Copies of this chain bind each other. A is one copy, B any other.
Amino acid sequence: MDRQERNAQFARALIELRSMVLGAAFGAGERLPETALAERLSLSRTPLRQAMDRLVDEGLLERVETGGCRVAQFKLSDIKDAIELRGVLEGTAARLAAERGMVPALATRLDEVLSELDTAVAGTLDFRSYQKFNAEFHDLLGRLAGSTILAKELERAGRLPAASPSSFLQGQEMIPDFRESLTRAQQQHRAMADAIRAREGARAEALAREHARLARANLEYVMRKEPALAERVPGLSLIAD
């Protein structure tokens, strides 16, 4: 039965179920019936339940007292907190990298990524490229201090709804104000790297926190002026305010 890789069914269940939840495939607070879902995904209840457990842990689902799970409800403040949390953790990663020195292998890659980002925002904006290298920048940042535990926790924080560094880079190239925002973000990227290199821990930390505030600004912008777009940002459909 294991013709495929090690736990293919579970992996599939996790990915599909997560994207279903984020994509608002279920109504607000709706309970998820295991049997039906399992059939719908054409796998058995066992790996599906594994996936549900995981999503509960990630915060997307919540266990209901009487049994089973339902999709979690978020207030706008929860999303803001999640972004703040990511900022704090990235700030810590930046500070520790400054204090301890960067992991050499990652440091050289960081420079390359920064260059790529520069060219992505220079001249005509290469949105796809920016998207890709921005994600890598934040991934590198998390691992730059060489702390496995911090990197893991940062990865987890990025899975909270709309808290990932890439959350607001989903087909937003059409928003005119957005171009400038990306330029500012890249300036902050550079400043963070400079601070880390110069062993300026406090500055690096403050910059990372401020950088996360851009995401918060985007969140507020989208919620206020482009509610239609809120559909496209992964977790925003879960907001009930």
A interface residues (Cβ-Cβ under 8 A, vs B): 6, 46, 50, 53-54, 57, 59, 65, 67, 77-78, 81-82, 84-85, 88-89, 92, 96, 147-150, 152-153, 156-157, 160
Contacts and interface: CB of A to CB of B under 8 A. Distances in A.
13 contacts: A6-B65, A53-B53, A59-B149, A59-B152, A78-B148, A78-B149, A81-B147, A81-B148, A81-B149, A85-B153, A88-B88, A153-B153, A153-B156
Nearest to A10: B53
A160 B85 CA distance: 18
Q: What are the 6 closest A-B residue pairs judged by CB atoms, nearest first?
A: A81-B147, A81-B149, A88-B92, A82-B149, A78-B149, A57-B57
Contacts of A96: 84
A153 B157 contact: yes
B85 A150 contact: yes
A91 to B, nearest CB: 8
A148 B77 CA distance: 10
Given A50-B53, A57-B57, A149 B67 contact: no
A6 B64 CA distance: 11
Nearest to A209: B92
A96 B88 CA distance: 12
A149 B160 contact: yes
Contacts of A46: 46
Contacts of A54: 53, 57
A67 to B, nearest CB: 6
A10 to B, nearest CB: 9
Nearest to A65: B6
Contacts of A84: 92, 96
A229 to B, nearest CB: 23
Contacts of A77: 147
B53 A85 contact: no
Given A53-B50, A67-B6, A88-B92, A81 B150 contact: yes
A52 to B, nearest CB: 11
Contacts of A65: 6
Contacts of A59: 149, 152
A89 B81 CA distance: 12
Contacts of A147: 77-78, 81
Contacts of A148: 78, 81
